[in-house]
Structure 1
Amino acid sequence: MTRTVTFPVSGMSCAACASRIQGGLNSLPGVSGAEVNFAAGQASVTYDPAVVGFPAVLAAVKGLGYDARTDEIVLPILGMSCASCVAKIEGALAQLPGVVSASVNLGTEKAAVRYIGRLASAADMKKVIEGAGYGVLDLAEEDLLEKEARLRREEVDRLRRRLAAGTVLVVPLFLLSSWEMLGLAVLLFEIPRGLSVGLQFVLATPIQFWVARPFYAGAWSAARHGTTNMNTLIA
């Protein structure tokens, strides 16, 4: 029986990225269909769990230089008494769609779970653990859709701050580099060449190493995996 999951993908910068991920996913054994939407920032994959697991699907995305946003939660477990309890709970959690990994510690009586927030929730995990014959202490959990929206807003805010800082720095940098060409040396005053070069260096350095850092990081990530993307072009 096949299973279809839709999960968010981060790191895409153009439609070519989506095409590359889609091709990589479709080449996986057990995957009968994969569609990646660049605009929505998500991938939809239909696969046979008996042939390929969801963690392998995510590993393929990561192997191409991209990533899927995951959440982590620690669940206090009740009723464990031996190592077989650990294996039973880990196995039950691993079967839950959206769970990437699950590690249960008998000593602390806790389960650490990494999962896709859009596909699984603490309530789902509690249900499968209780179905395996154990208990879970109630936890107050932030709404996962709201959390994902909050993370997106934070990412946009970070980009806006970089844009604002870049704009403040690039305007005087442009004026200094084009001072004579714009006739400002005649209209206003002449700037000694050494001073001009020094000021341009001071202004350009944060632009290169802070404002443009996401582009370099994205280009390097693509290069490490033998591919290119829009970050490569920009960098």
Structure 2
Amino acid sequence: MKNKTFKVEGMTCTACANSIQRTLGKLDSVKEANVNFATEKLTIAFDDEEISQEEIFEKVEKLGFELKEEIDLKEVTIPIAGMTCSACSNAVQRALNKLDGVEEAFVNFATEKAVVKYNSDKIRISNLKAAIEKAGYKPLELEIEDIGEEKLDPRERESKVLWIKFIIATIFTIPLFYISMGHMMGAPIPEIINPDINPMNFALTQMFLTIPTMLVGYKFYTVGFRTLFKGSPNMDS
């Protein structure tokens, strides 16, 4: 036995509601049918092995009315990390609104959050997060996890990570700049990495100093190129 609620369109009076209720109530496979004219809803209990939902729709259509399935819309707010400009929020918003089952999605760059109204029968929160990741950004947990005595909001956590990456990149970039450009300005360079004496060591040293800088800045390559190829370039591009 299946219980369903449908919206009824086309009713103009209680007589309309009564006619639908009588017609459906006469069916052997329908245990109970109740039509509320005020709310324009049909609540029905039926044996789905003997009669299908489509057949019920057809019975009502023959009376001159139309049934529509009630959609249980839910709303969720998802914090997002990695957005650097309004183009980022627009890209995420477009990606979410393209999903089947999403009624409406709005992404606020200032608050770094996406507010999504969706049909839980068609799509899950994990699908929403996957779409955000595919767009090149990081969906965060809906609730901030406990990290001991203090709690960091997503923005503070991301700023802390970026600051650490900046320090690491600076540590390797300063000697890289000195080695690659210093000899052009007459700055002294150790003989072991002097380009005129040991060009191979000179090149290898720069390569080893460049690799860590590229690793901490991987987001510029992964997110930047991805958004560029999708036609939605942002600050990372």
**TM-score normalised by structure 2 residue count:** 0.52
* Equivalent residue number for residue 171 of structure 1: 174
Corresponding residue pairs, total: 160
Indicate which of 200, 216, 223 corresponds to 1:211: 216
Give the number of the structure whose residues are more often helix, by fraction.
1
Confirm or deny: 8 A CA contact 1:36 1:43 kept in the other structure.
yes
Offset of residue 147 of structure 1: 4.7
Report % sequence identity: 29
Alignment of 1:110-149 (within 5 A): 116-117=142-143, 142=146, 147=151, 149=153
Please state if 1:58 is matched with 2:64. no
* C-alpha RMSD of the superposition: 3.7
Alignment-derived partner of residue 163 in structure 2: 160
Q: Does 2:92 align with 1:3?
A: no
State the match for 1:79 in structure 2.
Answer: none
1:21, 1:162 → 2: CA distance? 25
Pair 1:24-2:132 in alignment: no
Q: Is the 8 A contact 1:166 1:207 kept in 2?
A: yes
Q: Separation in 1 of the partners of 2:177 and 2:143?
A: 45
- Any unmatched runs of 5+ in structure 2? 1-71
Give the 3-state SS of the residue equivalent to 1:34 in structure 2: strand
**For residue 194 of structure 2, what is the aligned residue in structure 1?**
192
Mapped contact 1:218–1:231 kept (Cα < 8 A): no
CA distance in 1, matches of 2:110, 2:178: 36
Contact 1:169 1:203 in 2 (8 A): yes
Corresponding position of 2:67:
none
C-alpha distance in 2 between matches for 1:184 and 1:60: 51
Distance 1:57 1:180, change over 3 A: closer
Q: Match of 2:187, as an amino acid?
A: L
> What is the deviation of 1:36?
0.8
Q: Is the 8 A contact 1:13 1:229 kept in 2?
A: no
Tell me the distance in 2 between the aligned counterparts of 1:56 and 1:166.
35
Tell me the CA shift for residue 154 of structure 1.
4.1
Q: Deviations over 1:89-148 (max 9, x none)?
A: xxxxxxxxxxxxxxxxxxxxxxxxxxx226xxxxxxxxxxxxxxxxxxxxxx9489x655
Distance 1:142 1:183, change over 3 A: closer
- Report the TM-score, using the length of structure 1 for normalisation: 0.52
- Answer yes or no: is the 8 Å Cα contact 1:173–1:204 preserved in 2: yes
**Separation in structure 2 between the aligned mates of residue 197 and residue 172 of structure 1, nearest angstrom:** 13
